[in-house]
Amino acid sequence: MIRIVILISGRGSNMASLLAAAASAELPGRIVGVLANRPDAAGLAAASACGVPSRVVDHRLFASRDQFDAALATAIDCLEPDLVVLAGFMRILGEAFVRRYEGRLLNVHPSLLPAFPGLHTHRRALAEGVRIHGCTVHFVTPDLDHGPIIVQAAVPVLDGDDEATLAARVLAQEHRVYPLAVRWFAEARLRLRDGRVVLDSPQDGAAALIVPNAA
């Protein structure tokens, strides 16, 4: 059973979906710690309520990103994880940090990458008039929001949608596909070939899961 550390900045709703999957044995891994870069992150209390150790590494206490990254890496390494999962972690991580955990650092992004990397994805999707939006789980690389894609879920953009309604529809799919991707990693079913993800024995879904009719 692999050891998993989760990084959060806020409420940690994706963290909660992973904790639930681990508790129900849907995810063959143990979440050994939750780290936040903000002391007011609501997800810290949720993690503690589930019996998962939590800790704050406050980015505001460090003079540079490199110093923060080094302190965060030290806190992570103390937990000896096999996998580090970003769940609404709102800090850009430096190249040295990303390379340290290369191949075992995952993120979920609220768009169908490579479309709409960065922030305000739902606002931008609405402004562009796209009819399909969604989320992407990917390996993290030094290129922001451009790592090898593990799984995606698509949702329709409905007439009358605003940022809030579209975000809620996408978030529901994040909660579905993130535990799935972590389970595939735990089962050693993910391989990288020429910069792309190959899923071994994809009996429970393709490596690019598209659900255009998701509500």
Rounded CA-CA distance 166/158 in Å is 8
Residues with a catalytic annotation lie at 109
Q: What is the pLDDT of residues 131-182, one digit of tens each?
A: 999 999 999 999 999 999 999 999 999 999 999 999 999 999 999 999 999 9
- Lowest-confidence region among 29-38, 96-105, 189-198: 189-198
Residue 136: which residues within 8 A CB-CB, separation 6 or more?
A: 108, 109, 111, 112, 113, 149, 151, 152
Nearest of 103, 112, 114 to residue 185 by alpha carbon: 103
Pairwise CA distance, residues 4 & 85, whole Å: 7
Q: What is the mean pLDDT of the chain?
A: 93
The three-state secondary structure class of 145 is coil
Burial 161-171 (b: 16+ CB within 10 A, else e): beeeebbebbb
With cut-offs at 50, 70 and 90, classify the pLDDT of residue 200: confident
